[in-house]
Chain A
């Protein structure tokens, strides 16, 4: 496979569940990102990893927990979420984090919290 792959594509969970989103990239990129996309709102950056080190955490609630075991894989662990967390969660990667670096996105994981 090439590009950025996200699983699952759709997820429904209750507020007391624990689940994880997975992202994998086969582009040899060094930076990986989690974004939240809600209808008619700008993309919200959640976390950035560069060379496996977390470089940004944009005041994200602790019920979202990222994990980057290597430069090809990124996880977002979810627990005790709220209905307002329902959104499309996009993973992206880039060569690194500066300048003209283009982000390559996955197709997203559509999360519904009941």
Chain B
């Protein structure tokens, strides 16, 4: 079967750096997405990777290794507003989106 694994919960300190990992086993690959979801709000798009390497967007970066079935989301200079759930999703060979259960990130002062 198809599967996305990411840690259930992580804690980090304001101003620090945190890396959220995502590993996947899917039938084919057509891109990987990261979304952010604050409690009670809509998931919002953060990044998309389809080729190996690092994509940087301000304080957030996303990395992909297709050969390892692995991605991470790197958040720098953490702010309290970064407390949220981070969802990893892979578009498989049939262009279906397979979702992870999300990682709840808690930022402490």
Contact = CB atoms under 8 A, between A and B. Distances in A.
Interface residues of B, number: 25
Contacts, number: 45
Nearest to A9: B40
Interface in B1-45: 4, 8, 30-31, 33, 35, 40-45
A30 interface: no
Contacts of B31: 99-100
Given A105-B42, A106-B42, A107-B42, A98 B87 contact: no
A99 B96 CA distance: 9
Given A90-B42, A107-B40, A99 B101 contact: no
Given A42-B4, A42-B100, A98 B43 contact: no
Interface of A: 4, 40-43, 45, 90, 97-100, 102-108
5 contacts: A42-B101, A45-B96, A90-B43, A98-B95, A99-B95
Q: Which 3 A-B pairs have the closest CB atoms?
A: A42-B99, A105-B42, A43-B99
